[in-house]
Amino acid sequence: MTVPRILIIAGSDSGGGAGIQADIKTVTMLGGHAMTAITAITAQSTTGVDAVHPVPTDMVLAQIDACIGDLGVDAVKIGMIGSPRTAAAVAGRLEELAGIPIVFDPVMIASSGAKLADEATIAAFERLMRLSTVTTPNLPELKALSRMATGDVEAQRKAARALVAERGCALLVKGGHAKGAQVTDRLYCPDDGNPPEMEWRDARIDGTEDHGTGCTLASAIAVELAKDWRLPEAVARARRFVRVAMREAPGLGKGHGPMGQQGVRLDLNLSRFAPMFNHATLPARDYDASARFYRLLGLKEIVRAGPRYSRFESEGGATLSIETTDHIEAPVTFLECGDLDVTVAFLKQSGIVLDSEPTDQRWGWREARLTDPSGNAICLYQAGEMRRFPPWRVDDA
C-alpha cells in the first residue's frame, strides 16, 4: 500500500472545525485515506457545544470492524470517546492490532470551554494510553490525567514523566494554554530509543482561529507515523502542518474559528527522500519593473524588500522571488526536502558533490547548495511556514 490508511475514532463536530471533520481534512491533505468510527454526534459551532449524543458502543465497534476487516489500517487516531463503556470496548479492539501506531488525543474540553468527558470516561483513558504510541494532552488535560499540579514547567515535567512511567506510552504535552509570546510543546518518551525529552518552540500565532488544533495535530502525527517517520520526526512534521493551517484560517464564525487545512497546499513535502519543486529565484535588472510585471501576472506579493528583493505567491502555493542583479546573476531553482539532512546524506552516498553543506539561514530556511551538470544553481531547503509566512510577510498579502 502506498496510501496510508488512517482509522479515526472520534466525535463529529457539526461546525466542521474539530473532531472527525478536522481529522478527515488533515489526513486527506497529508496524502492519507481517512476511515472513521464516530463515537458521538455533537451540535456545536465556533461559539460552543449545544448538545452531545453518544453513539452506542456496539455501533462504534461495528464501524471499526468494517474498516479494518475490508480496508486494513496503518495507524489509528483516537479523539473524543463518548463514554467509559466505549473507551473500554475500543481498547479491547485495538489490543488486537499489534504493531500499529496509535495516537491518542484525550479530548476533555472543547476550545469553547465545553466539557466533553466526565470523570468516569477520563478514568477509562488509562487502558487506551497503555496501548498508544503517543498521547497528546494539553496542559489542563495533563493535570486531569496525572492528578498532579502543573503550574510551572518543572511541575509539568514531573507529571508527564510520572504518566510515561505508569502508562508506558510517549507523551506530547501541548503548551498552547501557557502564557507568553512563544508556544512550547514537549515530547516525553519511555526507554524506546528516542531521546527522553524533546521540545519545540515557535512564536504564538495570534487570533481565535484555533478550533481543532489538537485534533489536527494528532491526526497529522498518525499519518506521519504510518509513513514510517520516527515519532520525533512525525511530531515535527505535524506541528508544521498545524501552524500553516492556522495561518490559512478562513475567518469563519463568531468564536473560535476553524483552521484552514485545505489551504496548506505545497507547504509540506510529503516524501521522505524526493525533493519537491515549489520555489524559484530570478535575477531582476529593474526591480520596480519586474515587481510590477509579476503583480500584473496575478501573483500575490507576500514579501517586499525593495529595491532588492520581492517574493510572490501563486494560486497553488508555489512561490517565486526576484532579486536585483547585484545579488544574483542567474536563476536559482529551490527544491524543498522533507528532511534536508536525510536527502543530503543520500546524495553524498550517490556521489553528488555539494557546493555548500546544510546551513541555517537568518531568514528561517535551512539550505544546501549544488550545481547541476549544465551549471544551473540548485538550492535544497527546508522552510515550513517561513516560506510563505515569515514575520515580515506583507500585512495585506
CA–CA distance, 158 with 343 (Å, rounded to integer)? 37
Residues 66 and 145 in one domain: yes
Residues 256 and 289 in one domain: no
> pLDDT tens-digit profile of 345-360?
999 999 999 999 999 9
Does 397 fall in a domain?
Answer: no
Q: Per 3-state DSSP, what percentage of the chain is helix, strand, and coil (rounded to 5)?
A: 30, 25, 40
> pLDDT tens-digit profile of 363-378?
999 999 999 999 999 9
pLDDT at 279: 94
Residues 253 and 307 in one domain: no
Is the model's pLDDT at 297 over the cut of 80?
Answer: yes
Close Cβ partners of 345 (under 8 Å, ≥ 6 residues apart): none
Residues 44 and 113 in one domain: yes
CA–CA distance, 338 with 352 (Å, rounded to integer)? 19
Residues 100 and 227 in one domain: yes
Which triple of cell numbers denotes residue 98?
499489534
CA–CA distance, 354 with 368 (Å, rounded to integer)? 7
User: How sure is the predictor about 283, in pLDDT bands with cuts at 50, 70 and 90?
Assistant: very high
Based on the structure, what is the number of domains in the chain? 2
The answer to whether 100 and 75 have CB atoms below 8 angstroms apart is yes
pLDDT at 121: 76
> pLDDT tens-digit profile of 245-260?
999 999 999 999 999 9
Which of 202, 231, 263 is the endpoint of a domain?
A: 263
Neighbouring C-beta atoms of residue 41, cutoff 10 Å: 18
Close Cβ partners of 269 (under 8 Å, ≥ 6 residues apart): 275, 276, 336, 337, 338
158-166's contacts with Cβ under 8 Å and 24+ in sequence apart are 160/186, 160/188, 161/188, 163/129, 163/135, 164/188, 164/189, 164/190, 165/190
User: How sure is the predictor about 113, in pLDDT bands with cuts at 50, 70 and 90?
Assistant: low
Does 101 fall in a domain?
Answer: yes
Residues 230 and 280 in one domain: no
Residues 255 and 283 in one domain: no
Which triple of cell numbers denotes residue 207?
487570533
| Whole-prediction pTM | 0.89
Domain that holds residue 211: 5-263
pLDDT at 306: 87
> pLDDT tens-digit profile of 9-20?
999 999 999 999
Residue 323: which CATH number? 3.10.180.10
Residues 244 and 292 in one domain: no
Residues 308 and 199 in one domain: no
Does 369 fall in a domain?
Answer: yes
Does 131 fall in a domain?
Answer: yes
> Taking all residues of the chain, what is their mean pLDDT, rounded to a whole number?
92
Residues 236 and 288 in one domain: no
Does 392 fall in a domain?
Answer: no
Does 271 fall in a domain?
Answer: no
Residues 211 and 321 in one domain: no
> pLDDT tens-digit profile of 130-161?
999 999 999 999 998 998 988 899 999 999 99
Tell me the percentage of the chain whose pLDDT exceeds 90: 79
Average pLDDT of 216-241? 95
Q: What angle do CA 189, 195, 199 make, to 5 degrees?
A: 80
Quote the strand ranges of the chain, DSSP E: 5-13, 33-44, 49-54, 75-78, 102-104, 134-135, 170-173, 182-188, 197-203, 276-284, 300-305, 309-313, 319-324, 332-336, 356-360, 366-371, 377-382
Residues 44 and 142 in one domain: yes
The answer to whether 212 and 259 have CB atoms below 8 angstroms apart is yes
pLDDT at 110: 57
Neighbouring C-beta atoms of residue 283, cutoff 10 Å: 16
Cα-Cα end-to-end distance for the chain: 40
Is the model's pLDDT at 268 over the cut of 90?
Answer: no
CA–CA distance, 258 with 211 (Å, rounded to integer)? 5
Is the model's pLDDT at 265 over the cut of 60?
Answer: yes
Does 242 fall in a domain?
Answer: yes
Residue 157: which CATH number? 3.40.1190.20
CA–CA distance, 30 with 338 (Å, rounded to integer)? 12
Longest Cα–Cα distance of the chain, Å, equals 69
Give the residue from 386, 390, 384, 388 showing the smallest Cα distance to 338: 384
Which of 239, 263, 287 is the endpoint of a domain?
A: 263
Which of 236, 263, 290 is the endpoint of a domain?
A: 263
Average pLDDT of 200-208? 92
Does 396 fall in a domain?
Answer: no
